[in-house]
Amino acid sequence: MAAGVDLITHYSNRLDVLADLREVQRQLGRAQATTDATGRHSVRSLPPPARERKQWVKRPPLTEQFTPKQLARIIRDTQTMTQAAVAEKYGISEVSVWRLVKKHKGK
């Protein structure tokens, strides 16, 4: 029997998802080998193992993370800097910068 070509490895340009693709391929192969009571293949999605799940950290609202002076400085910085630069400077996301500007710009 000739050796096959691993198409997932050959054509994948996303090495970060390669292990997930291989796991899906393994699960599909296992599901195709088994059938349920009606004779159909049984496939179900499994959550990632607990050690691989992203741990979410609940942060306080942005208005509690910054003093009123800091909030005013963030708003002022958005007039001379890009939102991406402001986000990086203060360690928050660009969406958070946008929300702060929307909420506090007229104040």
Residue 1: per-residue pLDDT: 40
pLDDT digits (tens, 9 = 90+) for 81-97: 999 999 999 999 999 99
pLDDT digits (tens, 9 = 90+) for 22-63: 887 787 777 777 766 666 655 566 676 777 766 767 777 887
pTM for this prediction = 0.45
| Paired tokens of 14 | 């996303």
83 touches 94 (CB < 8 A): yes
How many other C-beta atoms are found inside a 10 Å radius of the C-beta of residue 37? 6
Please tell me the distance from the alpha carbon of residue 41 to that of residue 31, in angstroms, as a whole number.
6
CB-based burial, 76-105: b 16+ in 10 Å, e otherwise: ebbeeeebeebbeebebeeebbeebbeeee
Helix pair angle (83-90, 94-104), 10° resolution: 100
| 3-state secondary structure at position 67 | coil
State residue 9 phi and psi, 5-degree precision.
Answer: -70, -40
Q: 66 pLDDT exceeds 60?
A: yes
